[in-house]
Structure 1
């Protein structure tokens, strides 16, 4: 099941998104989290916490779930 995560800006970084989606507790955990979990953005693996996400991007996190950015 895909969980929609609403953002109030045009873009959001992957690190900010993980916190907003309640995947991590704080922004400081993003680097560790991305080194431990496989994250796919629109089907492509990406480990950059500064990766810009925009509405309709699909984020799949192995063992956690699938999320869609909505505005």
Structure 2
């Protein structure tokens, strides 16, 4: 079952690994690093393997059937 939720961020961008933790789809940074390096995370439909990739409001991240929409104003 897929889920979609919006995650507001404070700054103009957030690192991909931090976003996964903030959204609650991974337990910790080690898990975030692992799933990103394994190519299980997509940003705007393209697989992203860099944990430090910057994600900005308006972008969509997908992982494990969940869609995370990044919003401004956390």
TM-score normalized by structure 2?
Answer: 0.82
Which residue of structure 2 lines up, in the alignment, with residue 64 of structure 1? 65
Corresponding residue pairs, total = 70
After TM superposition, the runs of 4+ consecutive aligned structure 1 residues lying more than 4 A away are none
Which residue of structure 1 lines up, in the alignment, with residue 9 of structure 2? 7
Which residue of structure 1 lines up, in the alignment, with residue 24 of structure 2? 22
Mapped contact 2:43–2:62 kept (Cα < 8 A): yes
Structure 1 unaligned segments of length 5 or more: list them: none
How well do the aligned residues superpose, as a CA RMSD in angstroms? 1.5
Structure 2 unaligned segments of length 5 or more: list them: none
